[in-house]
Structure 1
Amino acid sequence: MQVVAERSVNEDADQRKQRYEEINRSKNKEECGKGVQSVDRALSIIEILSLSSNPLKLNEISTAADLNLSTCHHLIKTLVLRGYVINAGRNQGYSLSPRIENLWLRSTRDFNLVEFARPSLQKLNEDTRESVLLAVLRGSSLITQLCIASPLRSEADAYGTVNPRAAHALAMGKAILAWLPEGELARVVADNGLPGFTAQTITSLPALAEELRLVRRSGFALEDGEFRDELVGLSAPIRDASGAIVGSIGITIGRRRASETYRQHIVQAVTRCAGNLSARMPAGCFT
């Protein structure tokens, strides 16, 4: 009886171990399955193309990626449409485009811009004790590259980064849009529209064109309750040595504190900081 009991206990232990192993195998399969298969396959194709110095034909790519021809063709067609892969011509195969390298260079450039501008923006933040932001236009989107919060409690801190589709409603955006060629401005408006965020938001192209004319004449941009009723923004463009617009810096303050005298004080501080940055900025490094 003792032997039988021990055998029974051992069998129970083995069964429990087996159940744990089965659960772990299922768990591992689920974790592996959490990735998006089409994305994984597309990245595999990009990696395969990156290892070849010559264009690869569809059958070569499908074999290397362990994909059937139809699936491989659909993925490559999408990568071609998005500009990441180039069709080298009939029966010539496919190769990577410079777009991935350009994305890397843009990321490096943006990082370098932040590091270049950071000391000046920190000084502006310390001098004004207000939230300070650095923004750039990437494609049609207004992107925040740096945000230094006010050392005091500020209404603007709650919003942090800017809205990428609100360039027409934000001082940071208008300071850049004012200097765009007409065709580029039309593209940004076509991509984003002119959505109204408050009753004060500019929502027509003629009104925006007139606003941007005033920005060019004044040398700074004003946002007066156009994105948030309770906020006033003041911004100035930054340029490199060639005169190209690199981005904008700005300060946003609460309307209750935005007296005419204080607005003038902030405008002077922002435009002085932008001017100092522009005077030291090499041509072509951040554009």
Structure 2
Amino acid sequence: MHGKKKSARARRPTADLPKNGKRKGAPKKPVLQVAEDDEKEERGSSLSRMLSTLRLFSRTEPVLSAERIGEGAGVPTSTAYRYVKQLANAGLLVRWKGGFALGPRIIELDLQMRECDPAIVAAAGPMRELSSQTGLDVLLSKIYGRSVITVHIESAGPSRRLNFGRGRPLPLFRGSSSRAIIASLPAARLRRLHQDSQASGDADALAQDWDALYEDVLKIRKSGYCLTKGELNSGIEGISAPIFDASRTVIGSLTLIGDVERMSLLREETLIELVRKAAGSVSERLE
């Protein structure tokens, strides 16, 4: 015998051990850094909740009390008062008749968007030309996450009153403006939108299963335009074509609208080509 056998424990590989004999683990953040990260996350979520209270203001409820804001935001009234104070200091809210209304900073931001938004700047010229050529109204709509909103309108005459005019979210699965956009989305994103809309009880999404919807959007994508009649406004026809940014990602649509009777007096094929050409011009300007 040349000595005692080494135990199995002694023979265990130690290549993964540092010189001090302690195993390496995932690096741990200093306690102070963890606390700072938690504080930043809390501030971020609190800021998001505060800004989301602006969505509570609507045409039917333009003035809200702090109590109503707290109820709508799901926070205590004391927290709602803190929110409105900070929003008022930023000019986003003003006191009005025992409550609060949207403030002047909203108007300033709206003007800045009208004058500086890259899509509006790129689209204004082609929209005016299209409106002048046809004597009809032209709409620019953009997609923001799960919402499609008309952000600019060029009119040949007196402004038309629309059910879904500038600033009011459009139905995602109804109307040529939205359908021209969603038809150009990647299939995975469109499917998520459809599933989320069904889960939230969207009647348009519930009325059409995925296979039928996808078959429909493929036709729109292949033709390069969408034409609808009376889907959003009774007696109004819309012809829309998608708009793309420099990376060929769809960001919105251009829509020509007019009374069905008036549109019938014009050649449909010509109007479609004019809309597609105008949308293509906007996409080129965004490259």
Q: Same fold (TM over 0.5)?
A: yes
Alignment of 1:1-287 (within 5 A): 38-42=79-83, 111-151=117-157, 157-159=161-163, 161=165, 164-193=169-198, 194-196=202-204, 203-259=208-264, 262-282=267-287
Q: How many residues align?
A: 190
The one-letter amino acid paired with 2:203 is: P
Please say if residues 125 and 148 of structure 1, whose CA atoms lie closer than 8 Å, have aligned partners that are also in contact. yes
Q: TM-score, normalised by structure 2?
A: 0.55
Task: Check conservation: 1:225, 1:232, Cα contact below 8 A.
Answer: yes
> If the length of structure 1 is used for normalisation, what is the TM-score?
0.55
Distance 2:182 2:210 in 1: 12
| Unaligned ranges ≥5, structure 2 | 1-63, 70-77, 89-108
Report the secondary structure of 2:143's partner residue.
strand
Cα distance, 1:110 vs. partner?
7.4
Q: Deviation of residue 270 (structure 1)?
A: 0.6
**Contact kept in structure 1, 2:115 and 2:121, CA below 8 Å:** no
Equivalents in 2 of 1:110, 1:167: separation in Å?
Answer: 26
RMSD: 3.7
- With over 3 angstroms needed to count, the CA separation of the structure-2 counterparts of 1:202 and 1:277, relative to structure 1, is farther
Question: Taking structure 1 as reference, are residues 218 and 145 closer, same or farther at Cα in structure 2, changes over 3 Å only?
Answer: same
Distance in 1 separating the partners of 2:117 and 2:277: 23
SS at match of 2:174: coil
* CA shift for structure 1 position 165: 4.7
Give the deviation of 1:214 after TM superposition. 0.6
Q: Is the 8 A contact 1:169 1:202 kept in 2?
A: no
Q: Secondary structure at the match of 1:243?
A: coil
Matched AA of 1:180:
L
Instruction: Please list every run of 5 or more consecutive structure 1 residues that lacks an aligned counterpart in the other structure.
Output: 1-32, 48-102, 283-287
Kindly state the Cα deviation for residue 223 of structure 1 after the two structures are TM-superposed. Answer: 1.4
* 8 A Cα contact 2:137 2:153, kept in partner: yes
Shift in Å at residue 109 of structure 1? Answer: 10
1:147 and 1:165, CA in 2 relative to 1: closer, same or farther beyond 3 A? closer
| Equivalence for 1:77 | none
Give per-residue Cα distances to partners, 1:84-108, cap 9 Å, x unaligned. xxxxxxxxxxxxxxxxxxx99x969
CA offsets per residue over residues 20-73 of structure 1, 9 Å max, x none? xxxxxxxxxxxxx955653441367899xxxxxxxxxxxxxxxxxxxxxxxxxx
1:116 shift after superposition: 2.5
